[in-house]
Amino acid sequence: MPFFYMDQYYLLLVVPALILSIIASARVKSTFRSYSKFENSRGVTGAMAAKEVLAHYNLNDVSVERVSGELTDHYDPRDNVIRLSESVYNSTSIAAVGVACHEAGHAAQHANGYAPIKVRNAILPVTRIGSNLGIPLALIGLLLRFDMLISIGLLLYALVAVFQFVTLPVEFNASRRAMNVIDQTAILSQDETKGAKKVLSAAAMTYVAALAVSIASILRLLLLVNRRR
């Protein structure tokens, strides 16, 4: 099989999806930096905004901490803590408030037993294996003409795509919860809210692009299997 890792299907399917992913990643960074230049009129920091969302959902047992790095913001359900990056925690920018409220939206999902996040957490351990071994196992199986290995590789990587597919409603729902609270509590003005939405929309597109890469990779493997047969 020529071009073990750079076959024609890789160039036609995977490369365009990877380019889309790079563009989406660059866009979220540029959008975040753009709206990081504008402070909100109330002087609310990211940490304060996250706590307002938590209070709205009566989540008094969730803490908010600072973490190093850029765009490393996340909610950790194991420790029941929202960790906000240095560019978000003490920042009063529109971007910081949007990101912080989004992470608080994830905390609300866990507290309310949001079904898609339960599914995502359930398959997370297997997807970590699949993301590292799925495609290599399938390609080795193709090279050795070992159908069982191909099937295992495809199954493992298909679970990655399922994980990313389930992640989409999780991320969109967290943003929707965040924006609802922002609107109801007037954390941001109407014009500022538009900026926060743009930041969260740009972030959501990175998940769409990641799913596109996974689907393209699976299609590539299926086409390679079909060609061999």
Average pLDDT of the chain is 93
End-to-end CA gap in the chain: 12
Q: ∠52-60-66 over CA atoms, to 5°?
A: 65
pLDDT at 64: 98
pLDDT at 102: 98
Q: Is the pLDDT of residue 4 over 50?
A: no
Domain ranges of the chain: 8-228
Q: Which tokens is 181 given?
A: 């609270």
Q: Is 39 a catalytic residue?
A: no
Span 152-166, pLDDT tens digits: 999 999 999 999 999
Span 35-89, pLDDT tens digits: 999 999 999 999 999 999 999 999 999 999 999 998 899 999 999 999 999 999 9
pTM metric for this prediction: 0.89
52, 103, 171, 192: the catalytic one is: 103
pLDDT at 228: 72
Q: Is the pLDDT of residue 2 over 50?
A: no
7-11, 97-101, 119-123, 220-224: range with highest mean pLDDT: 97-101
Count Cβ neighbours within 10 Å for each residue of 199-229 and write b for 16 or more, e otherwise.
Answer: bbebbbbbbbbbbbbbbbbbebbeebbeeee
Q: What number is the average pLDDT over the span 179-207? A: 96
Do the Cβ atoms of 82 and 65 come closer than 8 Å? yes
What residues are paired with 217 via a beta bridge?
Answer: none
pLDDT at 116: 96
DSSP string, 74-143: EEETTTTEEEEEHHHHS--BHHHHHHHHHHHHHHHHHHHT-HHHHHHHHHHHHHHHHHHHHHHHHHHHHH
Span 6-48, pLDDT tens digits: 688 899 999 999 999 999 999 999 999 999 999 999 999 999 9
Span 167-192, pLDDT tens digits: 999 999 999 999 999 999 999 999 99
Residue of 221, 227, 183, 215 lying closest to 18 (CA atoms): 215
Q: What number is the average pLDDT over the span 132-149? A: 89
